Amino acid sequence: EVQLVESGGGPVQAGGSLRLSCTASGFTFDNTDMGWYRQRPDFECELVSALEKDGNTYYPDSVKGRFTVSLDNVKNTMYLQMNNLKPEDTAVYYCAADSDCITRGHSGHWGQGTQVTVSS
């Protein structure tokens, strides 16, 4: 059974930091295209970080310079370091393997999500 388990969310004040974790079982991150996504109230699912198996990373302008994705291959865990958080970052954050917002529920795998709430 392929599983993704997320943790690290919670309440934080604007300007603060959080580190989200996503631990995988049933596969390894280093040969899988991975991504962090978020679902904000009244917004569609959106990509916040991509970590492809070829080593390339991608960040949209909304988080570039503030969010950083990384891997710990020993722990088989992917992290999202979130700095200088803003109220508009409030969302449920998900990690996903071999999937995206369009293919969610049809292919690949998603975690259960972790809530991040940023107060001003």
Name, in order, each residue with C-beta under 8 angstroms of 106's C-beta and a sequence gap of 6 or more. none
pLDDT (tens digit per residue) in 38-57: 999 999 999 999 999 999 99
pLDDT (tens digit per residue) in 58-111: 999 999 999 999 999 899 999 999 999 999 999 999 999 999 999 999 999 999
**Residue (of 94, 114, 85, 106) closest to 13 by Cα position:** 85
